[in-house]
């Protein structure tokens, strides 16, 4: 620890100079809360995240309120934050209807949420894998026609609660299909947090072989088995420069009541800063934001860095 | 996840084929408990750890009971477990008196606990760094004369709560002093958990330059800022084959009330097994042991793997 609550900086060779953090706390985190967070609190959360230097903040999801009531206020929330300077605010769109709502509000970045496995496509989207891709195709095409940036999430890239290990070539097939549709970037999700570093390396290598360049790949690790940051390091060593994370580790995991789901942005920033990798994030302001959000939610942040730094401040 | 609660195995190049886990839960973990755990429970814990396949289990500390009352039963505990087949049981000895007690009970492996910084030597041992090394010298010499294996812990190798960042050459000086005395192995401790992967790589490289081979180096990471497993991966990539960890993540951290101190053995085993690195540990039996120990202590394990696997079993 340095006296100012920041790690000592010692770069390591072979790592990128800069990483873009795709902050998912406001969407992926808050959609897992039992009760919906008030719209004004969400807006303030997003403003504070931008104030901490995060430049890509996934704001909400234009999914039908029946499926995700926690984010039913997307149409009210988005206009409250859409003019934030310096921050891109992607939103999730499940289908044409969601895309229309997002475009009507001026969204410039959207994301679709695909699955690498049949079981999760069935459970989450009630479709076969190919049917779900067929649904996304016109959504992606319409978005691209409007000049909108499209991210394609691919969930269950490393393991699936029903199917077990997921073959990398199956993930690659979904990834190339999303790229062929026009997705500008992909986010490889370890939705149940089971991956280890060799799997990460193997999948990234295979994607490169199949013509998906590392520059368009983001990684999205969950910390269910404590592997998220080690897997992120493996991805950085492969050249990945986009990492998804959730402020304060927001976002529950259905498989472990008290464990976190998402990699905590603060834990990620601690590592990146220690490695001398630029993120533009002010760790102190980010931690203060997560402490504030934890107060709104009435329970402590699961981020270890947030706990360590906020305890230190007392 | 595979259906049997184990990670998919995908090796990565440049990593060791086998890692020896130095299990510290019974000593480093339990010495941080507010109230002493009954001797019979400690013995059963050590037996179960051995039954799970751990081959190096640090059993206790022959420190004066005034300083660590939690381990005041060392003389009663050690004979209860010292005949365990297949497991080496190192014990901590702070001085000649401690060594004499350990030798009288037939201990074949001991450890001394040095500091890389003046501040921690002062706070923990009430001596200057050189004075503390002078105390250890006859202890190490006597142990070696008796044919006993000696481990030298070096704490605060990467950061110190009073001094901030710790210069690697200062750590190297303490390490080479301990080696010169006769220590068979070293354990590099990130006692406050602040290190990141570049620091780990830098220190290991410097130690090699100063004539300390990687084979005698163990790493001991704390998870205060969530960095322990990523740092372990960096150490493995450097060739380190001895990793300290604590079953269930036992061992509090003074800087974060609810965060863990030690790297959880289960989280480590999950990564190593996923990477195809042999440890000899049965993850299911180890998790069951940590769940049992958590029941004895009356609170859940902070290990993410323990939480995920034990929830899955319900």
Which residue among B157, B175, B183, B253 is the active-site one?
B253
Residue A10 lies in a domain: no
Tell me how crowded residue A230 is: count the other CB atoms within 10 A of its CB. Answer: 31
CB contact under 8 A, A7 and B224: no
Q: What is the pLDDT of residue A312?
A: 60
Residue B72 lies in a domain: yes
| A224 contacts on B by Cβ (under 8 Å) | 304, 308
Can you tell me which residue has the tokens 């100079």?
A: A17
Per-residue pLDDT at A1 exceeds 60: no
- Asked if B285 and B52 touch (Cβ cutoff 8 Å), the reply is yes
CB contact under 8 A, A196 and B7: yes
Per-residue pLDDT at A224 exceeds 70: yes
Q: What is the pTM of this model?
A: 0.96
The dihedral region occupied by A112, where left means phi > 0, alpha psi between -120 and 50, and beta the remainder, is beta
Residue A173 lies in a domain: yes
User: Which value does ipTM take for this structure?
Assistant: 0.95
Residue A24: pLDDT band (50, 70, 90) is very high
The whole-angstrom separation of Cα B111 and Cα B118 is 20
pLDDT tens digits, A86-98: 999 999 999 999 9
Which residue among A157, A175, A183, A253 is the active-site one?
A253
Domain range for B50 is: 20-310
Q: Does A175 participate in catalysis according to the annotation?
A: no
Per-residue pLDDT at A26 exceeds 90: yes
In angstroms, what separates the C-alpha of B188 from chain A's closest C-alpha?
Answer: 16
CB contact under 8 A, B7 and A202: no
* Mutation target vs A (from B11, B196, B307; most A CBs, 10 A cutoff): B196
Residue B14 lies in a domain: no
Helix (H, G, I), strand (E, B) or coil at A86: coil
DSSP single-letter state for residue B88: B
Q: Which among A218, A160, A214, A159 is positioned nearest to A188, based on CA atoms? A: A218
Q: What is the pLDDT of residue A261?
A: 85
| Joined tokens for residue A55 | 């430049």
CATH, residue B243 = 3.20.20.70
Helix (H, G, I), strand (E, B) or coil at B9: coil
- Rounded to the nearest 5°, which phi and psi values hold at A283? -60, -35
The whole-angstrom separation of Cα A171 and Cα A169 is 5
| B195 contacts on A by Cβ (under 8 Å) | 7-8, 274
Structurally, how many domains does chain B consist of?
A: 1
In angstroms, what separates the C-alpha of B29 from chain A's closest C-alpha?
Answer: 18
Q: What is the pLDDT of residue A4?
A: 65
Nearest residue of chain A to residue B253 (CA atoms): A308
Q: Which among B247, B253, B246, B262 is positioned nearest to B292, based on CA atoms? A: B247
| A193 contacts on B by Cβ (under 8 Å) | 308
Residue B246 lies in a domain: yes
* Mutation target vs B (from A163, A201, A238, A274; most B CBs, 10 A cutoff): A274
Q: What is the pLDDT of residue A260?
A: 58
pLDDT tens digits, A42-72: 999 999 999 999 999 999 999 999 989 999 9
| A161 contacts on B by Cβ (under 8 Å) | 1
CB nearest to A196's CB, from B192, B198, B270: B270
Residue B231 lies in a domain: yes
CB contact under 8 A, A275 and B193: no
Q: What is the pLDDT of residue B312?
A: 60
Pairing assessment for the beta strands B159-160 and B164-165 based on DSSP bridges? antiparallel
Residue A258: pLDDT band (50, 70, 90) is very low
Mean pLDDT (whole number) for B79-103: 96
Per-residue pLDDT at B23 exceeds 60: yes
The dihedral region occupied by B42, where left means phi > 0, alpha psi between -120 and 50, and beta the remainder, is alpha
CB contact under 8 A, A226 and B158: no
In angstroms, what separates the C-alpha of A148 from chain B's closest C-alpha?
Answer: 35
The whole-angstrom separation of Cα B113 and Cα B130 is 13
The whole-angstrom separation of Cα A284 and Cα A276 is 17
CB nearest to A225's CB, from B3, B11, B267: B267
Residue A5 lies in a domain: no
Mean pLDDT (whole number) for B270-296: 97
Spatial CB neighbours of B221, under 8 Å, sequence gap ≥ 6: B190, B193, B195, B227, B228, B229, B231, B232, B244, B263
Residue A311: pLDDT band (50, 70, 90) is confident
Nearest residue of chain A to residue B205 (CA atoms): A12
Q: What is the pLDDT of residue B124?
A: 84
Residue A193 lies in a domain: yes
Can you tell me which residue has the tokens 């062929």?
A: A180
Give the number of A-B residue pairs with CB atoms closer than 8 Å: 184
Helix (H) or strand (E) holding B216, with range, is none
């Amino acid at each position: 620890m340095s006296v100012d609550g920041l790690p000592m900086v010692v770069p390591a060779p072979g790592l990128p100079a800069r990483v873009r953090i795709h902050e998912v706390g406001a969407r992926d985190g808050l959609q897992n809360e039992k009760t919906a967070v008030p719209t004004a609190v969400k807006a303030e959360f997003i403003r504070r995240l931008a104030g901490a230097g995060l430049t890509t903040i996934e704001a909400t999801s234009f999914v039908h309120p029946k499926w995700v009531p926690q984010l039913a206020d997307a149409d009210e929330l988005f206009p409250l934050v859409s003019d934030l300077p310096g921050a891109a605010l992607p939103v999730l769109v499940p289908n044409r209807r969601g895309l229309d709502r997002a475009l009507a509000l001026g969204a410039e970045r959207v994301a679709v949420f695909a699955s690498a496995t049949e079981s999760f496509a069935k459970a989450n989207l009630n479709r076969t894998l190919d049917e779900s891709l067929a649904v996304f195709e016109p959504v992606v095409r319409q978005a691209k026609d409007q000049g909108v940036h499209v991210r394609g999430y691919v969930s269950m890239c490393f393991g699936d609660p029903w199917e077990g290990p997921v073959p990398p070539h199956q993930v690659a097939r979904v990834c190339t299909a999303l790229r062929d549709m026009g997705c500008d970037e992909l986010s490889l999700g370890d939705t149940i947090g089971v991956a280890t570093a060799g799997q990460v390396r193997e999948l990234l290598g295979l994607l490169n072989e199949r013509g998906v360049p590392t520059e368009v790949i983001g990684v999205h690790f969950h910390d269910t088995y404590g592997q998220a940051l080690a897997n992120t390091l493996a991805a950085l060593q492969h050249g990945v420069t986009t990492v998804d994370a959730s402020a304060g580790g927001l976002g529950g995991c259905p498989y472990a009541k008290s464990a976190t789901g998402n990699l905590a942005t603060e834990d990620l920033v601690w590592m990146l800063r220690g490695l001398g990798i630029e993120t533009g994030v002010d760790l102190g302001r980010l931690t203060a934001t997560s402490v504030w959000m934890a107060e709104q939610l009435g329970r402590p942040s699961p981020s270890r860095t947030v706990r360590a730094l906020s305890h230190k401040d007392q």
